[in-house]
Amino acid sequence: MRPSPILPGAAVGVLGSGQLGRMFALAARQMGYRVHVYSPDSDTPAGQVGDVEVAAAYEDLDRVRAFARGVSVVTFEFENVPSATSRAAAEVVPVRPDGHVLHLTQQRLREKTFLQDGGFPVTPFRAIRSAADLESAVRDLGLPGVLKTANFGYDGKGQQTLRPGADLAAAFAALSGTEGIYEAFVEFEQEVSVIAARGLDGHTAVFPVFGNSHARHILDLTVCPAPIPPSLAAEAMAMARGILESLQVVGLLTVELFVTRDGRLLVNELAPRPHNSGHLTLDACVTSQFEQQLRAVCGLPLGATDLRRPVAMANLLGDVWEDAGGVPDWSAALADPEVRLHLYGKAEARRGRKMGHLTATADTLEEAVRKVRDARRHLLRDASPS
């Protein structure tokens, strides 16, 4: 028998307290839920808008269990939560997605092996546990290639691009004793992402494909619909649904993919949570990714994922504050009535730190991109015309 849905008025627990948790909490409160947030920090983006904020270590399993006793279900806003934390919470209440999904996606080798064994296309890779492993991988897969730590990597952290003539001994030493993964270099045309949800009843809902551009390994601009052929978009969405089903996810899953120059799709990474690229769903889709996560983990019917209008989103990093002399020109950026601002409640702006985002909708994708780029440029008070 399928579990009963968790209805508005109940408390939902979130492990993690960043901007993804903040936007999830806002969606949950809008639908009448209470939100409890658990992380090692206080006065966090999510904690500022939640009903209860618990500041304690993820390794304090007694505190985790006590936190879980105060909610009806627990979910994640980022995947680098220790597996033991998820297991401790699951002793008390349902954890969605299940801990096995978290365990798989927080380690690159496990993730890539699962995808490869499941028949999903990935970049050729090798496990790196010794200097000899790296030398063998380079012989097999060639140079250039990318050497990554197997654990806890995001926004380009823990990655080295190795080119012909690279010092392999030094590259291996840079892993600092951790397990690594070496991947063949991919000549890709663009990067795209697909966010999909699966409910307790097994029904799935897939958002349209998003096109992503990065700067310094951090997402810079996202557009929807992605500028790829409809047949390729349909293939990417079907692939996301297949991965979701294979993992039996209850909740949200993001699939990051490369589009190669010869028109193939390769799965790059998975994230069992909302995704930076999906922020534009707040302003452009019938259901946002955050409401969809809530619906899925609470056992409610999933919402429609239709795109209302073409949309573009521009990330706002702490660089904007510094380059604007401390206070961005919000009025200038919001002069266009189709531009919307989302700030994450972070007290200190630092270079490379995600502080917020802008979205713009328009009749065409090109116009949406122009609007959001102009809006971000106008945050810098002395910005010259583009």
User: Last residue of some domain: 169, 184, 199?
Assistant: 184
Digit-coded pLDDT (tens) for 74-91:
999 988 899 899 999 999
Q: Quick check: is 41 in a domain?
A: yes
Chain-centroid distance, C-alpha 184: 23
Question: Which 3-state string (H, E, C) describes the chain?
Answer: CCCCCCCECEEEEEECCCHHHHHHHHHHHHCCCEEEEEECCCCCCCCCCCCEEEECCCCCHHHHHHHHCCCCEEEECCCCCCHHHHHHHHCCCCECCCHHHHHHHCEHHHHHHHHHHCCCCECCEEEECCHHHHHHHHHHHCCCEEEEECECCCCCCCEEEECCCCCHHHHHHCCCCCCEEEEECCCEEEEEEEEEEECCCCCEEECCCEEEEEECCEEEEEEECCCCCHHHHHHHHHHHHHHHHHHCCCEEEEEEEEEECCCCEEEEEEECCCCHHHHHHHHHECCCHHHHHHHHHCCCCCCCCCECCCEEEEEEEHHHHHHCCCCCCHHHHCCCCCEEEEECCCCCCCCCCEEEEEEEECCCHHHHHHHHHHHHHHCCCCCCCC
Domain limit, last residue, from 166, 184, 202: 184
For residue range 250-279, list pLDDT tens digits in order: 999 999 999 999 999 999 999 999 999 999
Assigned domain for 5 exists: no
Q: Is residue 367 part of a domain?
A: yes
- CATH number at 164 reads 3.30.1490.20
Flag whether pLDDT at 3 surpasses 80: yes
Does residue 258 sit in the same domain as residue 345?
A: yes
- Cβ-contact 188, 284 below 8 angstroms: no
Q: Which domain holds residue 179?
A: 124-184
Q: Are residues 52 and 76 in the same domain?
A: yes
CA atoms of 274 and 38, how far apart (whole Å): 17
Q: Which residues contact 176 (CB under 8 A, 6 or more apart)?
A: none
Q: Is residue 113 part of a domain?
A: no
Q: Which has the closest alpha carbon to 318: 303, 328, 309?
A: 328
Is there a single domain that holds both residue 246 and residue 358? yes
Residue 150 resides in a domain: yes
- The verdict on 203 and 329 lying in the same domain is yes
Residue 247: which CATH number?
3.30.470.20
Q: What's the mean per-residue pLDDT of the chain?
A: 95
Prediction pTM value: 0.95
**Does residue 214 lie in a domain region?**
yes
Q: Report the pLDDT averaged over residues 207-215.
A: 97
Domain-embedded: residue 23: yes
Q: Are residues 262 and 319 in the same domain?
A: yes
Same structural domain for residues 86 and 130?
no
Q: What is the CATH number of the domain that holds 62?
A: 3.40.50.20
Predicted confidence (pLDDT) per residue in 113-152, tens digit:
999 999 999 999 999 999 999 999 999 999 999 999 998 6
In a domain, 115, yes or no: no
Is residue 197 domain-shared with residue 81, that is, in the same domain? no
Average pLDDT over residues 29-36: 98
**How many domains in the chain?**
3
Q: Does residue 333 share a domain with residue 312?
A: yes
